[in-house]
Every structure is written in C-alpha cells, then in structure tokens.
Structure 1
Amino acid sequence: MRKLMREKTKTGLTGIAGLKAGMSRNTAAKYLKEGRLPSEMKEVRDWRTRPDPFLNHWAEIEARLTADPALEAITIFENLLDRFPDEYEPGQLRTLQRRIRQWRGLAGPDKEVFFPQAHRAGEAMQTDFTWASKLGVTIQGEAFPHMLCHPVLPYSNWEWVTVCHSESLAALKRGVQEALFRLGHAPLFHQTDNSTAATHDLTSGKRDFNVEYMDMIRHFGMIPRTIAVGAKEQNGDVEAIHRGLKNRLKQYLIMRGSSDFESAAAYERWLWQMLAKTNRPRKTKLGEELAVMRPVTMARLPEFIEVDTRVSSWSTLSIKKNVYSVPSRLIGEKLRVRVYEGRIDVYYGGKMQLSTPRLLGRGGHRINYRHVIWSLVKKPGAFRLYRYREDLFPSLVFRRAYDALRTKLEENKADKEYVRILHLAASTMESDVEAALELLLETKTPISAEGVKAMVTDGDKLAAMVMDAPVVDLLIYDNLLHRQEGCV
C-alpha cells in the first residue's frame, strides 16, 4: 500500500502504480478511492455461512457446560454420537470444539490468573530434578538413563547440575552443595517442590520439611521454602530453564560428535564444562547476586545418610526397600550402612565390608553368588526355588550353560552340576570358568562340573583352546603396493 501511494505520487497513473506495487489496476483504484489500508477495510462477519449442526442440542450442551465447566468437547460429542448416530458424524468434532471454546470465552467461568514475580538479587535458589535420558548419552556404549539435579538462581539464571538417578535426599544434598561451593556464596532462601527428598505428608493433608533436609539447609544458613501442592508454576523459573538447558546440551553433544563417554564421572565433568560456557553471559547479574549473598565458610556435609540394620539368616539386608547380600559371616550382626545417591557402603566394627551400586526404586535385589555359594553347594536342592535365583547367573554364558544342563539332565542333577560350577567360579577365577563354559557351548561338548574344573586347572590347555590363530590376508599388502605405484 505504501509503494502504491509512492508510485501514484510519482506518475499520477493508477495502472502503472498498481503494477509496480504488485496488484491489478482495479484493486489499486479501489484502495486509492477508499484511502484506507486493506486491514481497515475488513468487515466483522456476524452471520453464519452454513447451518449450525448442533443447533437442536445446543441448549442441552450449554446446560451441561454450565453445570460442570470441566467437561471436554470430545466427551460431549461422543455422547451425542451414541444417542443420535443419524444426526452426527465424526468429522464434526472440530466444529463442536470451536463452538465450546467460543462459549467459554463469552460465558464460561473465570480462569486462574498467574502473576509474574520480580526476582531480587541473591534472594533465593530454586532446585528441581529433571530426566535427561532423551539426550541419548551412553557410557562405553551402554544406555545411561539418568536425571539431573538442577539448582538455579532465578535473578541471574545462573545454573548448575549434578548427575543422579533418583529424587533422593542424597542426590538433593549433593546437587545443592555442588552449586553452593561452586558459587562460594549462599542465598537467603532455598526453594524446592514437594518431592519426598525435602518434604513428607502430614495427617492434615499438608506437607512439612524432612528433618534431614532441614539440617542441611540450616547448616548453610538458608531458609527453606516450598511451592504449594500441585502448583508447579510456582517453580516456573527452574522448570522453564530445564527445557533450555537440555536443548543446549543436545546441541553441544551434536558438536562434540558423540554422545558416548568413558564413565559417568567423565560425562559429569563434560556437563560442568558446558555449564561454565552457558553461565558466561550471566556474569554481570551474577555479580549483583554475589554482592548481597553470604559467603559459604562452613564445611561440606557428608553426602550420605546412615542406616543401622541387622543381617538376616538369608545373608541379606534391606536398605530403602531393596535387598542386598553380604558375606555370610555377618549373619545376625548389626551393620551400619552409608547410603549414597549411587552406592551403599556397608561397615562392621568401623571397617568397610562391602561397597555396591545402589538399586533404584523398591522391591529390587542384588545377590552376589560368592556370599551364599558356600552354603548353597551343601544344599543344592535349594537352588530350584531360591527367591533370588536369577542373580546366581553372573553372565549370559552361565545362564546358557545351565539351560544346556537342563536339556541333558534331570532338574535336580542339573541344579547340582550348576551349583558346583558356580562354586568353582567363586573358588578360582570367574573369567576362566566363563571361558571354559563358552568353549564347551561353542563346540557342543557336554557340560559337567568335573569337565570345567579339568579345563580351568590346566590353564595352558584352556588358553590354547580358546586362542584362535589369526588369519593373515596377504592381498592387503598387494593393494597397498598398487596404491603406492599409482601415486608414483
């Protein structure tokens, strides 16, 4: 329109002005005559271009919506289809959805209003957990499902992360401490959602802070606060930054050229390097926050909780609703267990007896066959119905060996032979026993405990049988010579 007016002023010719403005002569003449923009010439239509298919039942629909505004259009439409199959068809759902949306805007109930908050420098840190498995990270080729504990300063948007596997107190403690000691300062408030790491249910239906969480927050001189139950928007800053963080990490992984890492520790170090880059543009506002925050001068808290428990007659102990085996010499003894976010350490008499990865969730079990095999070899009949029998297969090779025994022997005899093989693995080297079993399976030789023992005892013979002579292809060297000749 601006170009049309300019060209009309230059030439005085409507047809040429319209042509240069990219419109026909008639359209240009209309706009010049009206003297208004096209957007100003649109008329509001207050009539329908086609009959309303829901006219006969709209009064009923409106009454239902008035009585219960939470009703969705698809629920109402399915009811109409059931009752009046000859009047309605599936393609009319969108029409009803538009009609109900318009009704809600004109006559529906008031909606909840959210009020954006102005953050003050150094006032609070928000911490939340987010799943990061969609990043596709692997550790030495194996999938690495994990979460990130994500503390954020809402004023400057400074953020940090630690790798974890659950929303536990240990994970929260480690994440918060890493952020505080990285900053060297602590804010006035620490805010979380109502996760079980920080809060617990009261009989009144409300939630209160856990004692262990309160101890940690007081240690750093902060005041705990939480959002209302079911009000995720009150933690909106950290929730919004979750998405941005994971998008950036995905881009960094693409630039890195690989999502595989040597270890979880290496992956976390890489995360910290990327977070250092991300926080650079926030340096000015972060400086404002640090100027009003208190320095962190207190010592770092241990990142575990201690649990006292007694070993059962099954040579197991229960920690956080999961079962772990311990050496049978500890049956009946009282142990102290340090529960970290990713592992548990078992102590007796002040000395560590066992360290094992921590199980996630509830109802899991981790049984080390070396802890029970000395009793099981004396009672092989217990193997068949042992509650944790699947844990007694150290690898797929052992499982295949047991299945091969079952095809050749009766169940009781197969169980006995396998238990003896497992006892041999605990007495010697598991890797040697596994190599012997794999060789017997590949050559389809009948498996027996005595046969495996003979192979393991004669280590030189086993090594010679396992080692394959390499096949040398001399054509490779011929190809190299031809390429060199071609270059000359």
Structure 2
Amino acid sequence: MPGKPITDQQARLYMRLNKKHPRETAAAMSGFSASTAFRLDKDPRLPSEKKAQRGHGGGRPDPFTDLWESAVVPLLERAPNLRPVTILRDLCLRYPERELTAARRTLERRVREWKAAHGPQQEVIFRQNHPPGRQGMSDFTDCRSLGVTIAGVPLDHRLYHFVLVYSGWEHGEVVLGGESFTALASGLQNALWSLGACPIEHRSDSLSAAFTNRADETQEDLTRRYEALCAHYQMTPTRNNRGVAHENGSIESRNGHLKDRLEQALLLRGSADFATLDDYRRFVAEQISRHNALRRQELAVEMDHLRALPQRKTTDYDDAVVVVTSSGGFTLRRVFHTAPSTYIGHRLRVRLYDDRLECYLASSHAFTLPRGRPPSSGKSGQHAHVVDYRHVIHSLRRKPQALANLVYRDQLFPRAAFARTWQAMNKRLDQRTACKTMVGLLWLAHSCACEAELALALEMILDARKLPDLAALQSRFDVAGNSVPDIEVVLPTAADYDRLLTAGAMQ
C-alpha cells in the first residue's frame, strides 16, 4: 500500500520470486510497487537492518544536538506554549550560519516529545454517565450561516435548542432577538409542554438570560426570575463554568448537528427563501420532528423517569408600562411602535414576547403589535420604527403634506410596491401632488381592504413606466361607491310548503 513500509517477509518473498519472474511481476506478487522493487535491487538489505542503522534520528544528523539543551529547552521552560515554528524562526535569526530551515519536522518531533515528558499538565475531559430523566439542556445557536431569507430579506436569527441528554429528544424554535430571558422562558416552556414532562435538572451555559454575571441589581432580578421559572417546574437550575463550553458538550455538539441537518434540508429543498416567517418556523419544526421520530425507543425509556408538568405555564414575557403620545405611538427599548390613535394619552401595560407585544388597557387586551429590534449600531439617539399605516392614515389624510419629511416614512409603506410608487412619483411630480396621491393610495388600501390587490396593480403600472391614476384606481377598487343591482326575493307561501309535505307523505 502507498505510504506503508514493507516488511522483511515481503522483501524475502520478492527476492525469491525475482529469480523466476520479471521485477514488476515479482513486486506485484509481493504487495509493493515496482519503484520499491528497484530500490530493493540496489540495496538488498532487509528493512529491519536499514532501520537499525538509521536509528531514531533518521538518515541525516540532528542539527539541534548541540542547541537543544542550551537554546531550545530554556525557551520551552519559560513559555511551554511556544510553537516549534516560532522557535525555529528564532534559532534561524540567532544562528544564521546554520541551515536549520529544512529541519522543521525534526524540531516539531523533539518539541512534541519534550512536552509529553516535561510539559505542563493538560486538562482532562471526564466523560459522564447520564441516567434517564435526569438532565435537560438549553442553549442558543446563531443560524445566520444558513442564509435563510424571508421574501428575499435576510433573516438575522438564532435557534433556541433544548435537548434531553439521555434520549436525545430535541426541541428548537426560531428566536429573532438575543439570548433574553423572554426567549429562554418561552422556548423552555414550549419544549416541556411539547414533551409532556420535566427532567429533574435543567442545565445551561452562562446565559445572560439565566445567570447575569454583573454585580448589580440586574443580576438579582434576572437570576431570581430564572430560579422561579425552574422552581415552577420543580427543576434544579445548574450551569457550567464560564468560558468552558465543553461542560455543556451534550448540547454544544448537537447544535452543530442540528444546523447541519437544516442546511442539508435547505439544499434538498432547493431554496433558503421562505414566503413568511411562519413557513420557516414550520420547516424547522418539521426537521426536528423527523429527528425525534428516530429517538422513540430511547424516549420511551426516559419518559418513565421524568416528572409530571404543573397545571399551567408560568410567565414567559417581560412587563413594561408605556404612554401613547401625540405622535401616535410609544417608544420602548429604543423602538418606536405606532398604536391606534384612539389610545393617545392612555397608559398601556405591555407584555414583551420574543416576536410580539401584547398591549393591555387596564386588564383588557387592547391590541397586538409585532416586536421591533433596536439598531445594531447602538448609537445614542437612534431608534427603529415599527409602523402600521392603518394607525395613522386617518390623521395623515387630513395632513398629506406631512408625508414628505415624516421620520418613519420609509417604514410607513406596507409593501414594496407602495415604496416603489412613492419613489417614482417623488421624482416625476411636484411634492404636493406626490404626497396627496400617495396618501390617497394608502387610504384606498385601508378603506377598501385591497392592500394586496392594489399593490399588484401598482406594480403593473410602474412596470409599464407610467404613474398611477388615483381616480381610476378608486373607481376600480371602491366597492362601496359602485352601484349594487337590485335583487328581488320572492318568499313562498305556507300553502306551498303544505303541498310539499303532502306529496312526501303520499310517496
């Protein structure tokens, strides 16, 4: 085999066969190449005899014999983590008259042997025995490398990942924000209720959502909430040491396996683009469900050792109180959200979930908003905007010129077709006409509930290099203004029903 030294037995067999057969045939019958046979013909000594003569240091003299104890060992004793290539470069600078560059492999071998005999103690990984029902683990893993897009827009997201260590049963869900307590609490509870039981212990790495490592009041608040969450499910909260990821290895390795499965499934699907976020969530859930189907036997064993669930879930959201201002919304965690104008001046209690805001007036649910994320730049004074044009269109219709310099104008348009229409009109029409027409289109989409149909019509008009005619579109989509034909309904008399009943009885 290539790269494998021949044995004395092969050499003897070749010498015997070579007396009756050509070199190539004898070499093939002996299990090595013709070039090896050629070298054996030039030097008929057995391989064991050649090795004994070469000794441990090879055929060439060791260039580090006189430098090892005086120059190399002091460097290794002072800094054991020095790499052989670094030491070699230093020796080449100190001893330029010597040809040391070609002896890199020799130095690497000697350094490796020195570290084995005299180097520092290395950390030992202790493999653990995981009894069934004992431990469940949570972690977050960044999934931007998957290249997932939603309607063509890249999705910056993570996956919350829960694993039962014994059986390998998994749960995962898409997380749009960071490693927050909300994401951890929601993901963990969804995992437990999907499983239908609880492990004795819940383990994580040093998640800021679970264990805050700062010495201030935030640490006490978040840690207390996480401990209360585990206590609700009668689980013991544990974590690995900070910066030691392999202590959470039962889930760290599975993070990579999960992303590999998702990547392969996306390749098999032929596209990483999804129409909606819900479609992508279903895709992830389907892939995890297929994996869990392979762990049915192990899970059946573990289910007998798990604890029962409590009667209900516990809190999986953050609380905040906001006031809807005259700007038509409120700012929460550096994100401005619009709200229905009827709530201006009212104080609302907001429940912050990972993907939405549930807003309450007193104890009654008022409305739900999608949750926005602050700008990644983190500059002071910068805010993101989550805008629903239906919240402000009534006022904007009375003051259409406010659209020109509106702070959140670009976020106001519900679909790309509306943004494209504004750009076209802003270039080719005067500002007053462009604002009035654009606000009229938004009002038409809202009042006639034809946002999707109107967007398609606008795309066709712009593709034809024309500008939309507001009056024509109003006559097309304003169903309330169209004439409705009169329909005459004739009610049957009671005698007609009597005749039907009599005919049925006779049959």
TM superposition shift of 1:206 = 12
Residue 245 in structure 1 maps to residue 261 in structure 2: no
Residue 169 in structure 1 maps to residue 181 in structure 2: yes
C-alpha distance in 1, partners of 2:90/2:415?
56
TM superposition shift of 1:336 = 2.1
Name the counterpart of 2:129: 119
TM superposition shift of 1:220 = 0.5
Which one is further off, 223-232 or 437-446?
437-446
Name the counterpart of 1:484: none
C-alpha distance in 2, partners of 1:434/1:274?
39
Residue 388 in structure 1 maps to residue 398 in structure 2: no
Name the counterpart of 2:171: 160
Partner letter of residue 419 of structure 2? R
TM superposition shift of 1:216 = 1.3
TM superposition shift of 1:371 = 1.6
C-alpha distance in 2, partners of 1:422/1:206?
44
Name the counterpart of 1:213: 226
TM superposition shift of 1:251 = 4.1
Partner letter of residue 168 of structure 1? S
C-alpha distance in 1, partners of 2:38/2:107?
40
2:425 to 405, 412, 420: 405
Name the counterpart of 1:179: 191
Change (3 A) 1:240 1:435: closer
C-alpha distance in 2, partners of 1:213/1:150?
17
TM superposition shift of 1:394 = 2.8
C-alpha distance in 2, partners of 1:388/1:110?
60
Change (3 A) 1:21 1:390: same
User: Is the Cα contact below 8 Å between 2:170 and 2:292 reproduced in 1?
Assistant: no
Partner letter of residue 22 of structure 1? G
- Once the two structures are superposed, residues 391-415 of structure 1 have per-residue CA deviations (whole angstroms, 9 ceiling, x without a partner) of 1233333333323333344445544
Name the counterpart of 1:456: 473
Change (3 A) 1:390 1:105: farther
Change (3 A) 1:400 1:153: closer
Name the counterpart of 1:190: 202
Partner letter of residue 30 of structure 2? A
Name the counterpart of 2:497: none
C-alpha distance in 2, partners of 1:336/1:316?
13
Partner letter of residue 157 of structure 1? G
User: Is the Cα contact below 8 Å between 1:173 and 1:303 reproduced in 2?
Assistant: yes
TM superposition shift of 1:330 = 0.8
C-alpha distance in 1, partners of 2:17/2:103?
47
Matches for 1:270-349 after TM superposition, within 5 Å: 270-280=286-296, 283-284=297-298, 286=299, 289-301=302-314, 303-349=316-362
Partner letter of residue 277 of structure 1? A
C-alpha distance in 2, partners of 1:271/1:246?
10
Change (3 A) 1:275 1:431: closer
Change (3 A) 1:3 1:50: closer
Change (3 A) 1:222 1:456: same
Q: Which runs of 5+ in 1 are unaligned?
A: 463-488
- Once the two structures are superposed, residues 417-441 of structure 1 have per-residue CA deviations (whole angstroms, 9 ceiling, x without a partner) of 4344434444444446545644554
C-alpha distance in 1, partners of 2:50/2:285?
58
SS in 2 for 1:200: coil
1:373 to 393, 410, 418: 393
C-alpha distance in 1, partners of 2:105/2:396?
67
User: Is the Cα contact below 8 Å between 1:436 and 1:455 reproduced in 2?
Assistant: no
SS in 2 for 1:202: coil
Name the counterpart of 2:31: 22
Percent identity (aligned): 27
Q: What is the TM-score normalised by the length of structure 1?
A: 0.71
1:131 to 142, 148, 165: 142
> Considering only CA atoms, is the larger Rg found in Structure 1 or Structure 2?
2
TM superposition shift of 1:352 = 3.5
Which one is further off, 233-242 or 349-358?
349-358
Q: Which runs of 5+ in 2 are unaligned?
A: 376-382, 480-507
Change (3 A) 1:28 1:360: farther
User: Is the Cα contact below 8 Å between 1:455 and 1:461 reproduced in 2?
Assistant: no
Partner letter of residue 397 of structure 1? A
Which one is further off, 328-337 or 391-400?
391-400
TM superposition shift of 1:444 = 4.5
- Once the two structures are superposed, residues 375-394 of structure 1 have per-residue CA deviations (whole angstroms, 9 ceiling, x without a partner) of 33444454333221211233
SS in 1 for 2:295: helix
SS in 1 for 2:250: helix
TM superposition shift of 1:315 = 1.6
- Once the two structures are superposed, residues 280-320 of structure 1 have per-residue CA deviations (whole angstroms, 9 ceiling, x without a partner) of 4xx34x45544443233442335434332221221222334
- Once the two structures are superposed, residues 65-107 of structure 1 have per-residue CA deviations (whole angstroms, 9 ceiling, x without a partner) of 87777788999999999xx9xx8xxxx9998899689658747
- Once the two structures are superposed, residues 136-159 of structure 1 have per-residue CA deviations (whole angstroms, 9 ceiling, x without a partner) of 556677765543221123344333
User: Is the Cα contact below 8 Å between 2:173 and 2:281 reproduced in 1?
Assistant: no
Name the counterpart of 1:418: 438
TM superposition shift of 1:326 = 0.4
Residue 356 in structure 1 maps to residue 373 in structure 2: no
C-alpha distance in 2, partners of 1:257/1:443?
32
TM superposition shift of 1:325 = 0.6
2:238 to 201, 225, 231: 225
C-alpha distance in 1, partners of 2:417/2:267?
37
- Once the two structures are superposed, residues 236-257 of structure 1 have per-residue CA deviations (whole angstroms, 9 ceiling, x without a partner) of 2211111223323444555667
- Once the two structures are superposed, residues 29-80 of structure 1 have per-residue CA deviations (whole angstroms, 9 ceiling, x without a partner) of 989857x49988863227977989xx9xx96x99888777778899999999
C-alpha distance in 2, partners of 1:302/1:37?
77
- Once the two structures are superposed, residues 320-352 of structure 1 have per-residue CA deviations (whole angstroms, 9 ceiling, x without a partner) of 432211011111211122322222222224444
Q: What is the TM-score normalised by the length of structure 2?
A: 0.69
C-alpha distance in 2, partners of 1:335/1:236?
43
Partner letter of residue 236 of structure 1? G
Change (3 A) 1:427 1:255: closer
Residue 267 in structure 1 maps to residue 276 in structure 2: no
User: Is the Cα contact below 8 Å between 1:125 and 1:187 reproduced in 2?
Assistant: yes
